[in-house]
Structure 1
Amino acid sequence: MPNLLFICSKNQWRSPTAELLFKNHPLNQARSAGTGDKARVKVSEKLLAWADVVFVMERKHRDILRQRFASAIARKEIVVLDIEDNYQFNDPELIGILEMALVDYL
């Protein structure tokens, strides 16, 4: 069962919405975190070690991970979803975008 980690800035809207898509999923487990100081759940080496695949909402999140956690992500698959911070939690449009981007995992 692959572990999927979703990352945005504050872990308030985009990444928790993605995590929710995988609640009770039979094949994948998901968690979410944020890169910012005010993130609800902050990304950590422990979370990155848990993850098999890391999804970031924007390139800047990937860059932050590379700066802060270079050794923890050295062999991780990191997928940039290119989803800007224009959505609220559980926004139907955001869910649709995530479902299309994550079709291979859902």
Structure 2
Amino acid sequence: MPNLLFICSKNQWRSPTAELLFKNHPLHSARSAGTNNNARVRVNQKMIDWADVLFVMERKHRDIIRERYIISNQPVVVLEVPDDYQFEDPELIEILRISLADYL
């Protein structure tokens, strides 16, 4: 079962919404984290190591994790989702469903 890690800034809205899409998914496990010091759940090396695929909401998140952590062979996918949505916003869910269609 591939492990998917979703990363945004504060782990409040975008990445938890993406994680929720995979709740009870038969083929994937998902977690979420944030890059900021005050993130609800802050990304760490153990999470990076756990993940088979890393999904970041913006390029700045990709740059931060590449700077701070050791990324082995995991792909880092930039979803290009701006910080314009609240948790479980229907528009955000639709954007994520389209972006993640190959995994859902």
Q: Which residue of 2 aligns with 1:82?
A: 80
Distance (whole Å) between structure 2 residues aligned to residue 104 and residue 17 of structure 1: 17
Flag structure 2 segments of 5+ consecutive residues without an equivalent: none
Deviating beyond 6 angstroms after TM superposition, the runs of 4 or more aligned structure 1 residues are none
Q: Which residue of 1 aligns with 2:34?
A: 34
Q: Which residue of 2 aligns with 1:5?
A: 5
Q: TM-score, normalised by structure 2?
A: 0.98
What is the correspondence of 1:35-54 to structure 2 with a 5 Å cutoff? 35-54=35-54
Flag structure 1 segments of 5+ consecutive residues without an equivalent: none
Q: After superposition, what is the alpha-carbon deviation per residue over 1:22-68, rounded to whole angstroms, capped at 9, x for unaligned? A: 00000000000000011000000000000000000000000001110
Q: After superposition, what is the alpha-carbon deviation per residue over 1:51-93, rounded to whole angstroms, capped at 9, x for unaligned? A: 0000000000000011101x2x132100000000000000000
Identity percentage over the alignment?
70
SS of 2:77 mapped into structure 1: strand
Q: Which residue of 1 aligns with 2:56?
A: 56
Q: TM-score, normalised by structure 1?
A: 0.97
Counting matched residue pairs gives 104
SS of 1:43 mapped into structure 2: coil
Distance (whole Å) between structure 2 residues aligned to residue 104 and residue 19 of structure 1: 15
Backbone CA RMSD of aligned residues:
0.5
